[in-house]
Amino acid sequence: MDFIYGLLLGAIVVGIVLYFSRSFFTKNKTQEQSVILLEKIRNVSKLITVESDFSEIMHYSDAKNILLNLVSSHKKAIVLANSKVMVGFDMKQMRIQPDPDRKLLTITHFPEPQVLSIETDVEYYDVSNGLFNKFAASDLTQLNKKVRENIENKIPQSGVLQTAQHKAMETINLIEQIVDTFGWKLAYNELNIPQKTIQKSTNEK
């Protein structure tokens, strides 16, 4: 009988050890998964959701007075700029709270749309130099800077930032697909997302 009791006691001890060992390693694996998930999402970095084309025509003229203002020397040019503006989200600004026990990632903050890049192609027409007033490299640099500033000033009124904001849900759905491949759920119910783009998340189904 002592032998049988010994076997039973040993089996119980082994079972307890295996149970806690499995719980320990499963928890570590889940926590490791959450770290991998967060890194994958952060690696998306800057996500472009809207591309828009802008055009700018600038008539530039400059007069230089010499000889006690008795003589004026003019230089002028027509500047044509075509710009591609890319708007989206900087995913590094997004904040996510992982819950390994529930296999749940909660987005606590989603970034506002912003201009991620501006690519500008500038061409010069009807360039005319004055006898004592000629275009220098610094003039062209300033013209390029002015053109870019004009494009940047047009962006807020163009509606591209609002368009990108309404595509925020598409971005969240992309993140949700990444999360689903790991068997996790994504929660974003507290975010202030435009109502007309809201869809039910998988954790609400």
Asked if residue 25 is part of any domain, the answer here is: no
Asked if residue 108 is part of any domain, the answer here is: yes
Q: What is the pLDDT of residue 87?
A: 92
Asked if residue 113 is part of any domain, the answer here is: yes
- Alpha-carbon distance of 203 to 205, in angstroms, equals 6
Residues of the chain by 3-state class (helix, strand, coil), percent to 5 = 45, 35, 20
Q: What is the pLDDT of residue 26?
A: 41
Q: What is the pLDDT of residue 29?
A: 59
Q: What is the pLDDT of residue 194?
A: 59
Counting the structural domains of the chain, the total is: 1
Asked if residue 29 is part of any domain, the answer here is: no
- b or e along 104-136 (b: 16 or more beta carbons within 10 Å of the residue's beta carbon)? bbbbeebbebebbeeeeebeeeeeeebeebebe
Asked if residue 12 is part of any domain, the answer here is: no
Distances (CA, A) of 18 to 11, 22, 23: 10, 6, 9
Q: What is the pLDDT of residue 7?
A: 39
In DSSP terms, 61 is beta-bridged to: 76
Question: From first to last of its 205 residues, what are the pLDDT tens digits of the chain?
Answer: 544 434 343 444 334 434 444 444 344 556 666 667 667 666 666 788 889 999 889 888 888 777 666 667 888 889 999 999 999 988 888 888 888 888 888 988 888 899 999 999 989 888 888 777 788 888 888 888 888 898 999 998 898 998 888 888 888 888 888 888 888 898 988 777 754 433 333 344 4
Asked if residue 17 is part of any domain, the answer here is: no
Range of the domain at 70: 34-204
Structure tokens at 41: 């999402």
Q: Give the helix/strand (H/E) hosting 98.
A: strand 95-99
- Alpha-carbon distance of 122 to 144, in angstroms, equals 7
**φ, ψ for residue 13, nearest 5 deg:** -60, -45
pTM over 0.75: no
- Burial of residue 37 (number of CB atoms within 10 Å: 0-12, 13-18, 19+): buried
